[in-house]
């Protein structure tokens, strides 16, 4: 079977080496709008005689690379548009197959980094403190709170700076790098379920607690459909209005837009969608972005089953009809023969953001809904079985 090529990455493929663990330390500087810190990657060779490897970078200043206490040589290649720059690291010894090495990279981000969004105090609800969210161990000003897509593992004063505090996090379930998320701001929380806190600025926290009070019911239905929830905590974070998406399924901490705070829980299907990602996307992930529909088509399918259990089968079909209309609009916009209307797209030299549309969501759902009808109707458990097998 030929190797699947990741057209959106410049890094060494998984057949050469694989990252087994990440230990991230960083300090947040709101004045300069940068993160400084280090990333220690435990990398396992997948072949004999491995002498170098390549990592993806984008808008980073690399200060040094250390392996086994020894600085090693590295080279940054030319920037390749949206992909960033490849960083080739020379290993001090040739690795055998399955041998591991810890590579510690000291870095600083750029104020223009596309992975970070910095908000001024005026852009927040409280108007007093700045705010950072991105897609460990993190040092922040002591009046602010840090959260991550991981389990909170304690906090303490920063021994090197009395004006700062260190937050620690751990994530025991393996995740792809796009799910590593960090947020820093003036945040408060409310308990809305046995495994759920809702976080936001204080001006929104009570509204948020009311709006998302059905979260535990959705989690229980999702477990019935997809199997046990393995992530421990399922928290929600309501971001300032500039957050550009309805939701983002970061493990243990879903990011959502404040536009969901309708006051009548009428937009709760977005939470059902993000909860569903805990199985389809986060636990089982598309290998490359060419197959993005595997993440989103299955997630829409599971989301609508959750809503069907809560509000009835007619509700599920109503949302399916709405999604079918969205799919037709996307196809009309692209043109019926446009390659972006395919379920599996070819993203060679194409920024995935350019190809983004409702197609992977709704065409993927339509395929799974069709399979459901072939295999016995809405009571069929093929999704649960598939997740367990994978």
For residue 33, what is the enclosing H or E element? Answer: none
HSE-up (13 A, CA, CB side) for residue 367:
15
From CA 373, how far away is CA 368, in angstroms rounded? 9
Residue 277, marked binder: yes
From CA 233, how far away is CA 235, in angstroms rounded? 6
Instruction: Choose the catalytic residue: 201, 274, 303, 362.
Output: 274
Residue 143, marked binder: no
Whether 82 is a known active-site residue: answer: no
DSSP 62-118: EEEEEETTEE--EEE----GGG-EEEEEEEEEEEPTT-EEEEEEEEEE-TT-TTEEE
In our burial notation (b when 16+ CB lie closer than 10 A, e otherwise), range 7-38 reads bbbbbbeeebbebeeeebbbbbbbeebbbbbb
Place of tokens 């969004």: 117
DSSP 185-239: ES-EEEEEETTEEEEE-TTTHHHHHHHTTTHHHHHHHHHHHH----SS--EEEE-
Whether 234 is a known active-site residue: answer: no
From CA 231, how far away is CA 5, in angstroms rounded? 29
Residue 317, marked binder: no
**Nearest 5°: phi and psi at 384?**
-60, -45
Spatial CA neighbour of 107 closest among 58, 60, 42, 40: 60
151 near 171, Cβ under 8 Å?
yes
Spatial CA neighbour of 97 closest among 138, 54, 48, 52: 48
Place of tokens 């395929």: 367
Beta bridge partners of 287: none
From CA 384, how far away is CA 51, in angstroms rounded? 42
Point out the annotated binding site for Zn(2+): 273, 277, 296
Binding-site positions read 273, 277, 296
Write out the catalytic residue numbers. Answer: 274, 361
């Amino acid at each position: 079977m030929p190797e699947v090529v990741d057209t959106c990455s410049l890094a060494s493929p998984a057949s050469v080496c694989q990252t087994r663990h990440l230990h991230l330390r960083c300090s947040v500087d709101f004045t300069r709008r940068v993160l400084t810190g280090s990333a220690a990657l435990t990398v396992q060779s997948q072949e004999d005689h491995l002498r170098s490897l390549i990592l993806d970078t984008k808008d980073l200043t690399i200060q040094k690379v250390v392996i086994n206490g020894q600085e090693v040589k590295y080279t940054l290649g030319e920037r390749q548009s949206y992909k960033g720059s490849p960083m080739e690291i020379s290993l001090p010894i040739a690795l055998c197959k399955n041998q591991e090495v810890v590579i510690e990279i000291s870095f600083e981000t750029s104020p223009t980094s596309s992975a970070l969004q910095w908000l001024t105090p005026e852009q927040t609800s409280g108007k007093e403190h700045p705010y950072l969210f991105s897609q460990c161990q993190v040092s922040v000003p002591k009046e602010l709170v840090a959260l991550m897509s991981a389990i909170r593992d304690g906090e303490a004063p920063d021994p090197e700076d009395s004006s700062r505090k260190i937050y620690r996090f751990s994530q025991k379930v393996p995740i792809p790098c796009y799910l590593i998320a960090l947020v820093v701001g003036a945040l408060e929380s409310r308990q809305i379920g046995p495994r759920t806190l809702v976080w936001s600025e204080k001006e929104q926290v009570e509204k948020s607690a009311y709006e998302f009070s059905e979260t535990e019911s959705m989690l229980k239905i999702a477990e019935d459909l997809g199997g046990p929830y393995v992530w421990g905590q399922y928290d929600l974070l309501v971001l300032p209005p500039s957050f550009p998406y309805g939701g983002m399924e970061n493990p243990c901490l879903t990011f959502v837009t404040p536009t969901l705070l309708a006051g009548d829980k009428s937009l709760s299907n977005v939470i059902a969608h993000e909860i569903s990602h805990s199985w389809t996307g986060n636990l089982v992930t598309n290998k490359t972005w060419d197959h993005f529909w595997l993440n989103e088509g299955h997630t829409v399918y599971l989301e609508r089953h959750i809503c069907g259990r809560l509000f009835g089968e007619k509700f599920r079909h109503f949302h399916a009809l709405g999604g079918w209309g969205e799919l037709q609009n996307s196809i009309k916009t692209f043109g019926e023969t446009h390659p972006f209307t395919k379920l599996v797209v070819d993203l060679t030299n194409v920024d995935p953001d350019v190809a983004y549309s409702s197609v992977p969501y709704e065409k993927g759902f339509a395929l799974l809904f069709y399979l459901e009808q072939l295999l016995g109707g809405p009571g069929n458990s093929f999704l649960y079985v598939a997740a367990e097998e994978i």
